[in-house]
Amino acid sequence: MTDKISIVGAGLVGSLLGISLKQKGFNVTLFEKRKDPRKTEKYKGRSINLALSRRGILALQSVNIFDKIEPLLIPMTGRMVHDVKGRLTFQPYGKEGQCINSVSRGRLNEILIEELEKSGVNLNFDHQCETVDIENSTLGFLNGKKEKSDVIFGADGAFSIIRKHLQQSDRFNFSQHYIDHGYKELDMTPLNGDFAMEPNSLHIWPRGNFMLIALPNQDKTFTCTLFFPFEGATSFHSLMNENGILSFFERYFPDVLPLIPDVAEQYQKNLTSSLVTIKSCPWYKNRTLILGDASHAIVPFYGQGMNAGFEDVRLFTELAEKMNWEWQKILPAFSSIRKQDTDAISELALNNFIEMRCHVGKTDFLKRKELEAKLQDAYPKDWIPLYSMVTFSDLSYAEALRLGKIQQKVLDEFLYEKSENLDFEKIVDRFNTLKKAG
Amino acid sequence: MTDKISIVGAGLVGSLLGISLKQKGFNVTLFEKRKDPRKTEKYKGRSINLALSRRGILALQSVNIFDKIEPLLIPMTGRMVHDVKGRLTFQPYGKEGQCINSVSRGRLNEILIEELEKSGVNLNFDHQCETVDIENSTLGFLNGKKEKSDVIFGADGAFSIIRKHLQQSDRFNFSQHYIDHGYKELDMTPLNGDFAMEPNSLHIWPRGNFMLIALPNQDKTFTCTLFFPFEGATSFHSLMNENGILSFFERYFPDVLPLIPDVAEQYQKNLTSSLVTIKSCPWYKNRTLILGDASHAIVPFYGQGMNAGFEDVRLFTELAEKMNWEWQKILPAFSSIRKQDTDAISELALNNFIEMRCHVGKTDFLKRKELEAKLQDAYPKDWIPLYSMVTFSDLSYAEALRLGKIQQKVLDEFLYEKSENLDFEKIVDRFNTLKKAG
């Protein structure tokens, strides 16, 4: 177990992987292009809060550091849907006690890096990786350093340098697909020293082709995110000047306007970012493997990007242990097994955008949710709603997607009959029959 | 019309584009990384013969050079299907007089380059493009040269450098997908001074998961191409040594073995190449546009790669003329209109591989082909088989794909009834109804 392991990227996934492999006794070195985030004034980077759920928690627990993370979390037990008149509807995410957790990306990353350091991993910030010699497992850095390893992991995010080098090899499948929407973050400060809205919810303002959401932060602010088309009649492109922005918020988000009085200024100042889905296959060549966003970046609408990346680390470590750390077998096996799951969550995340921006405010959607909750109450082992399979279980994403499609089909069949008294037993029987049929 | 135009790539598409734009009066410069093919001993590059059909011919006619190309062509009027016992079945591609044309990529390219030179285009061989400054429409070359232009065209093939630079800009959608099969070319020499097989056919040996095809060359040789899985029980990976190769050919291609006595030697010596589908969107940024394989490489199974690239040139020129050569309008318009067609031929080409290697030898397929031919005879304006729409017409690929799917659906419906006497009028009526429904 004295193999020398290099990990490129000390973001969330790279850091957790470093901790996990160090615990298994390997000689682990991390390289990160940015400076040590603990020494820079404020974390600057992508979206500043994330939703940690079951899969992420399991991965953190598997390396015994969840207790360090737990104090950072703000539980969100459901969606708080805001209609255009500012009226609220609360939709619980799951059963009593089930929640997702708002957490600051920056603080989470800092704690992981502290754990890395404590565990004795070699940490190299300010190391921009530029080349990967995949044949010889050797990294080259902007500062001229070369580093040969037994195994290289690329956890360097959606625009991975390691993946770019894999991409140059023959028969590497790759896609990057941008959706028509971008996003812009807006800060909502506390009101009279407290959260300006109910803190234990994920707030959504569904508006059809666009939406606003808000997640709570520990400093009693909310981070609001506007998901909005880049082009079109109502879009980032069309909405530019102060008056336009204010009347847009007045029309669509009237309850938000008093809580973000400087919304026009923030809108004009803050970046507009794009949203990409990245797929690749295979994730490895020789002794180099990419994981996390580097191999499967997804859109954020299921709150599963980080959770999927953390689950990569847990599943990789478990598989490697089972395969006696024979790298040449583990890398292909992990790549082919795990890809089915990340393809599934990728599809689910895209679908959930439509659910969030269009459906969550609609009666049909609420009725179906209610029916599913009742089915789950009556048959808790047989009927677990899709959202719960994805968010509150560790069932593989691929199986969750498969079962979710069957559920949809079965509900479509029974609701089509419009019977007032639905026979729950029949519904569950039908579901179980289709489930077994594969 | 004194705009300075740079084209990267003097392959088939870049050369034809150069000729077309020069004829419109522009100041055209071509850059090609290879040496002048007329001065090198033998054309070395990708597959050496191609099938020119209606769309390619129309494009060559639109710049009045088809008469220079015509003498190179060997017409192929149908498929000659070889079964495992060497028995032959001939399947005409279309009606009397309709054919596709085997042509040497190398010779075709040379003639296009001669035409370029005659027309006064600036030709620069040995110019490897390395960078594109898309903001300033400036190309940078390995030899240090910089070239600023009013418009840049990237016709530099499936691994386009121009596309790589577009790919770095935000919101550029891109995919490269390799199929599980690769290909290897094998030469069949003349027999007693003549073609060893019927020359006016495209020969196919369909064998389920793999196939061999052969196209005639003007020197009375055939170029055979084995399309074969990379991995698996019967694959490039499993088939390596001389005995294995010989017994494989004996078993699957017994009639070929005597015609290629050195097949094992050729198999071991010749390259195995991969097959990729490339999609991208948008094809332009500022005043840089990619076209041909650079924006939409497809697999070769419909014989449409070159034809689609040539059609790009014709349609681009026609559109630009219609739009008064306002580049800022033409580039986005062409990119969005034409992409639907190239996505369609991309799908058709993938589907046709299955048709060629699995279906062409089967009775059901032949019966359906026969039925379609009868339908076309009875209703020549209403029922044009998909292969003919793609190969012998200039109907947009997207519309051909759409109509082909309707035809399939209608035939499925009627054949399901298994009636002995099919009512042609009913079939055509049903087709026309669905066609109009959109």
**Which of A171, A177, A230 lies closest to B274 in CB terms?**
A171
C-alpha distances in angstroms, A438 versus A414, A433, A435, B12, B364? 20, 9, 6, 48, 29
Helices (H) and strands (E) in chain A, counts: 14, 19
Q: Does A143 touch chain B (CB under 8 A)?
A: no
ipTM for this prediction: 0.87
Cis peptide before B282 (omega within 30 of 0): yes
Contacts of A299 in chain B (CB under 8 A): none
Domain boundary, last residue among B236, B259, B274: B274
Give yes or no: residues A320 and A412 share one domain: no
Give yes or no: residues A227 and A261 share one domain: yes
pLDDT for B366: 87
pLDDT for A434: 95
Cross-chain Cβ contact B172/A175 below 8 Å: no
Q: Residue B150 burial by CB count (10 A; 0-12/13-18/19+): exposed, middle or buried?
A: middle
Cross-chain Cβ contact A174/B178 below 8 Å: no
Cross-chain Cβ contact B171/A177 below 8 Å: no
Contacts of A346 in chain B (CB under 8 A): none
Cross-chain Cβ contact B174/A174 below 8 Å: yes
Contacts of A178 in chain B (CB under 8 A): 170-173
pLDDT band at A46, cuts 50/70/90? very low
Measured on CA atoms in the order B342, B343, B348, B351, is the torsion positive or negative?
A: positive
Q: Does A174 touch chain B (CB under 8 A)?
A: yes
Higher pLDDT residue, B181 or B369? Answer: B181
Cα nearest neighbour of B230 on chain A: A171
pLDDT for A366: 87
Which range has the worst mean pLDDT, A397-411, A414-428, B78-92, B125-139? A414-428
Domain boundary, last residue among A351, A377, A408: A351
- Within a domain: residue B80? no
- Within a domain: residue B97? no
Cross-chain Cβ contact A177/B175 below 8 Å: yes
Q: Does A418 touch chain B (CB under 8 A)?
A: no
Q: How many CB pairs under 8 A join A and B?
A: 34
Give yes or no: residues A309 and A368 share one domain: no
**Which of A173, A178, A230 lies closest to B177 in CB terms?**
A173
pLDDT at B82 over 80: yes
The end-to-end CA distance of chain A, in Å, is: 41
pLDDT for B212: 98
Cα nearest neighbour of B178 on chain A: A171
**Which of B173, B230, B274 lies closest to A176 in CB terms?**
B173
pLDDT for A323: 97
Give yes or no: residues B281 and B269 share one domain: no
Q: Does B90 touch chain A (CB under 8 A)?
A: no
Give yes or no: residues B252 and B391 share one domain: no
Contacts of B177 in chain A (CB under 8 A): 173, 175
pLDDT band at A9, cuts 50/70/90? very high
Which residue out of A170, A235, A237, A281 would a mutagenesis test of the B interface target, given it has the greatest number of B Cβ atoms within 10 Å? A170
Give yes or no: residues B296 and B376 share one domain: no
Distance from CA of A302 to the nearest CA of B (A): 21
Cross-chain Cβ contact A173/B174 below 8 Å: no
Which residue out of B170, B181, B278 would a mutagenesis test of the A interface target, given it has the greatest number of A Cβ atoms within 10 Å? B170
| pLDDT (tens digit per residue) in B211-254 | 999 999 999 999 999 999 999 999 999 999 999 999 999 999 99
DSSP state of A270: S
How many independent structural domains does chain B possess?
3
Domain boundary, last residue among A257, A274, A291: A274
pLDDT band at A164, cuts 50/70/90? very high
| pLDDT (tens digit per residue) in A204-218 | 999 999 999 999 999
Average pLDDT, rounded, for chain B: 95
pLDDT band at B351, cuts 50/70/90? very high
Give dist(CA A403, CA A414) in Å, integer: 17
Buried b (16+ CB within 10 A) or exposed e, B107-128: bbbbbbbebbeebebebbbebe
Task: Match 């040269």 to its residue by tokens.
Answer: B145
Contacts of B174 in chain A (CB under 8 A): 174-176
Q: What whole-number percentage of chain B has pLDDT above 90?
A: 89
Cross-chain Cβ contact A274/B178 below 8 Å: no
Distance from CA of A143 to the nearest CA of B (A): 23
Distance from CA of A127 to the nearest CA of B (A): 21
pLDDT at B46 over 80: no
| pLDDT (tens digit per residue) in B90-105 | 999 999 999 999 999 9
Cross-chain Cβ contact B175/A171 below 8 Å: no
Give yes or no: residues B162 and B203 share one domain: no
B203-207 long-range contacts, CB within 8 A, separation 24+: B203/B79, B203/B80, B203/B82, B204/B79, B204/B80, B204/B81, B204/B82, B204/B356, B204/B360, B205/B81, B205/B82, B205/B252, B205/B253, B205/B256, B206/B81, B206/B356, B206/B357, B206/B358, B206/B359, B206/B360, B206/B361, B207/B84, B207/B252, B207/B357
pLDDT band at A330, cuts 50/70/90? very high
Q: Which two tokens stand for residue B210?
A: 């793999």
Give dist(CA B158, CA B113) in Å, integer: 20
Higher pLDDT residue, A40 or A318? Answer: A318
pLDDT at B421 over 80: no
pLDDT band at A47, cuts 50/70/90? low
Q: What whole-number percentage of chain A has pLDDT above 90?
A: 89
pLDDT for B42: 61
pLDDT for B45: 45
Give yes or no: residues A145 and A10 share one domain: yes
- Within a domain: residue B84? no
C-alpha distances in angstroms, B401 versus A234, B335, B347, B430? 34, 19, 9, 18
pLDDT for B413: 87
Q: Does B169 touch chain A (CB under 8 A)?
A: no
What 3-state DSSP class applies to B214? strand
pLDDT for A107: 93
Question: How confident is the model over A336-347, as a mean pLDDT?
Answer: 98
- Within a domain: residue B90? no
Give yes or no: residues B267 and B281 share one domain: no
Give yes or no: residues A11 and A110 share one domain: yes
Q: Does B174 touch chain A (CB under 8 A)?
A: yes
CB A202 within 8 A of CB A213: yes
What 3-state DSSP class applies to A6? strand
pLDDT at A269 over 70: yes
pLDDT at B386 over 70: yes
Give dist(CA B432, CA A260) in Å, integer: 58
CATH code, domain with A57: 3.50.50.60
pLDDT for B47: 56
pLDDT for A45: 45
Distance from CA of A276 to the nearest CA of B (A): 8
- Within a domain: residue A148? yes
Cross-chain Cβ contact B177/A172 below 8 Å: no
**Which of A170, A177, A274 lies closest to B274 in CB terms?**
A170
Question: How confident is the model over A326-332, as a mean pLDDT?
Answer: 97
- Provide the residue range defining the domain that includes A237: 178-274
Q: What whole-number percentage of chain B has pLDDT above 70?
A: 97
**Which of A171, A175, A230 lies closest to B178 in CB terms?**
A171
Give yes or no: residues B169 and B311 share one domain: yes
pLDDT for A401: 98
Q: Does B159 touch chain A (CB under 8 A)?
A: no
Give yes or no: residues B253 and B295 share one domain: no
* Cβ-proximal residues to A268 (8 Å cutoff; 6+ apart), any chain: A240, A242, A245
Question: How confident is the model over B422-431, as a mean pLDDT?
Answer: 91
Distance from CA of A171 to the nearest CA of B (A): 6
Which residue out of A178, A273, A279, A336 would a mutagenesis test of the B interface target, given it has the greatest number of B Cβ atoms within 10 Å? A178
Which residue out of B161, B164, B171, B274 would a mutagenesis test of the A interface target, given it has the greatest number of A Cβ atoms within 10 Å? B171
- Within a domain: residue B81? no
Q: Does A173 touch chain B (CB under 8 A)?
A: yes
Contacts of B172 in chain A (CB under 8 A): 176, 178
Contacts of B178 in chain A (CB under 8 A): 170-173
- Within a domain: residue A138? yes
pLDDT for B239: 96
Which range has the worst mean pLDDT, A43-52, A240-249, A365-374, B392-401? A43-52
Contacts of A236 in chain B (CB under 8 A): none
Do you know the residue count of chain A? Answer: 438
- pTM value is 0.91
Give dist(CA B18, CA A222) in Å, integer: 57
Q: Does A274 touch chain B (CB under 8 A)?
A: yes
Give dist(CA B292, CA B302) in Å, integer: 16
Distance from CA of B259 to the nearest CA of A (A): 32
Average pLDDT, rounded, for chain A: 95
Which residue out of B177, B273, B276, B281 would a mutagenesis test of the A interface target, given it has the greatest number of A Cβ atoms within 10 Å? B177
- Within a domain: residue A40? yes
